[in-house]
Structure 1
Amino acid sequence: MAKMTNLEKRIARMNRFSAEVREAVESELKKEVEEMVAAIQRAAPVSDFESRPGELRDSVTAYPVQGRPAAWRIIVKAQDKKGRYYGSYVEFGHNTKDGGRVPAQPFFWPTYRSRRRGLRARILRPARKLIREMFPRG
Structure 2
Amino acid sequence: MAKIEGRDRLLAKLAALPPAVRSAIKQALAQGADEIVADAKRLAPKKTGKLRDSIKQTWGGGKERYASLSAGAKGDPDLTVVISAGNSAVRYAHLVEFGTSPHINGGMFAGSEHPGTEAQPFFFPAYRANRRKVRARISRATTKAAKRVASGAE
Q: Which TM bucket (shorter chain)?
A: 0.7 to 0.9
> 2:91 matched to which residue of 1?
85
1:68 pairs, out of 45, 64, 76, with 76
Secondary structure at 1:62 match in 2? strand
Q: Which amino acid aligns with 2:144?
A: K
CA distance in structure 2 between the aligned counterparts of 1:84 and 1:74, rounded to whole angstroms: 15
TM-score (norm 1): 0.77
Which residue number corresponds to residue 135 of structure 2? 120
Task: Identify unmatched segments of 5+ residues in structure 2.
Answer: 62-74, 106-112
What is the letter of the counterpart of residue 81 of structure 2? W
Offset of residue 85 of structure 1: 0.4
Whole-angstrom CA distance in 2 between matches of 1:9 and 1:120:
21
**CA-atom RMSD, angstroms?**
2.2
Matched positions, count: 125
1:78 shift after superposition: 5.0
Q: CA deviation at 1:73?
A: 1.4
| Contact 1:64–1:71, Cα closer than 8 Å, also in 2 | yes
Residues 43-87 of structure 1: per-residue CA shift (max 9 Å, x gap): 11111xxxxx211111101111255241121111256xxx56011
Q: CA deviation at 1:113?
A: 1.5
Normalising by structure 2, what TM-score? Answer: 0.70
- Give the C-alpha shift of residue 101 in structure 1: 2.1
Deviation at 1:126, TM superposition (A): 2.1
Give 1:21 deviation, angstroms: 0.9
User: Is 1:110 paired with 2:110?
Assistant: no
In 2 relative to 1, CA 92–28 (structure 1 residues): closer, same or farther, beyond 3 Å? same
Q: What does 1:1-138 correspond to in 2, within 5 Å?
A: 5-47=5-47, 53-65=48-60, 68-69=76-77, 70-77=79-86, 83=89, 85-94=91-100, 95=102, 97=105, 98-136=113-151
Q: Which runs of 5+ in 1 are unaligned?
A: 48-52
The 10-residue stretch of structure 1 (123-132 or 35-44) with the greater mean CA deviation from structure 2: 123-132
Identity of aligned residues (%): 32
* Partner Cα separation in structure 1 for residue 52 and residue 6 of structure 2: 34
